[in-house]
Amino acid sequence: MNKGSVSLPSGANLDFRGPALVMAIVNCTDDSFYPASRNDSAEKALERALKAEEAGANIIDFGGESTRPGAAYVSVEEELDRILPVIREFRKHSNLPVSVDTRKAAVAKAVLDAGADIINDISALEDDPDLGPLCAERGALIVLMHKKGIPLTMQDEPYYANVVSEVYSYLIESAAKAQKIGILPQRIIIDPGIGFGKRLEDNLDLLARLEEFSASAYPVLAGLSRKRFIGEVTGHESEDRLAGTLAANAIALFGKANILRVHDVGETVDLVKMIYAVSCRQGGNT
């Protein structure tokens, strides 16, 4: 299967044949791990989303439940209270593809009704059995991510014998299960879940061998922005991890990632443009 252009429920398209797409993180929460990304009101979240679009984002990813290590579960009602007004208002201003970071079918249904296109599920359809059939019925794109355990406890001594093969096998099996319930293969994106139940060495191995995931039939999303493993390497807190993040994202681009999920949109857009320009001169397609 070739990774090409795919239509979205809103009528927009995503094209995976050119440079990597930049997905802007818009947290509708007050407890995300990176303090500068927190938005404690719908007005602030909308402003951040519109600024991200202006800076060149290809996709806006709204989230109403923090999934940082140690985070607790949020109810459907609370999650919808945080994100639904923002998505409805954003849709009045923009036709940009909208992704929602949720693992709940009830939330997904409401945001798809409000104009969302992509469901970004950290549980790879495991947490809610109704989510997969809903995405199939509505023609939404689905991001299947690998994690070990739940956010509250996922960093409590995770272990892998071979992290790359284990995560790769899990994602391919998850994609096959998604297809069995009616999700078309071209509507599946995979994410190795760097930082979700992984040790430093696991995260580095996944990033170093990302091209093995990109060689699959599915577009690959890399979510690296300002994460703890970057701080473990550089010695910096989240506020000072921009340079480390850009370096990690450059490595992901050389590993042929199709989507970069980031906090810092303008800087990442420039990174993608520069690497793509050089890659084209080299005859590549990074």
pLDDT digits (tens, 9 = 90+) for 56-88: 999 999 998 876 665 567 899 999 999 999 999
Beta bridge partners of 141: 118
- Give the pLDDT band of residue 150 (cuts 50, 70, 90): low
3-49 pLDDT, tens digit each? 889 999 999 999 999 999 999 999 987 766 666 666 767 888 999 99
β-sheet bridge partners, residue 188: 142
Which residue, among 71, 129, 69, 70, has the nearest Cα to 104 in the 3D structure?
A: 129
How would residue 257 be classed by pLDDT, with cut points 50, 70 and 90? very high
The confidence score (pLDDT) of residue 2 equals 52
For the residues 244-259, what does the mean pLDDT come to?
Answer: 98
Question: In the chain, what percentage of residues exceed pLDDT 70?
Answer: 90
Residue ranges of domains in the chain: 18-282
Using CA atoms, how far residue 100 sits from 38, 55, 162, 192, 232, in Å, is: 16, 20, 31, 18, 29
Mean pLDDT of the residues in the chain: 92
* Average pLDDT, integer, range 274-284: 88
Mean pLDDT of 190-215: 96
Averaged pLDDT, 187-200: 95
Q: What percent of the chain has pLDDT over 90?
A: 81
pLDDT at 42: 82
Mean pLDDT of the 139-145 span = 98
HEC sequence for the chain:
CCCCEEECCCCCEEECCCCCEEEEEEECCCCCCCHHHCCCCHHHHHHHHHHHHHCCCCEEEEECCCCCCCCCCCCHHHHHHHHHHHHHHHHHHCCCCEEEECCCHHHHHHHHHCCCCEEEECCCCCCCCCHHHHHHHHCCEEEEECCCCCCCCCCCCCCCCCHHHHHHHHHHHHHHHHHHCCCCHHHEEEECCCCCCCCHHHHHHHHHCHHHHHCCCCCEEEECCCCHHHHHHHCCCHHHCHHHHHHHHHHHHHCCCCEEEECCHHHHHHHHHHHHHHHHHHCCCC
| Catalytic positions | 227, 261
Q: Which amino acid is at 47?
A: E
Band the pLDDT of 1: cuts 50, 70, 90. very low
Please provide the CATH number assigned to the domain covering 18-282. Answer: 3.20.20.20
Q: Would you state the pLDDT for residue 74? A: 81
Q: How far apart are CA 27 and CA 263, in angstroms?
A: 10
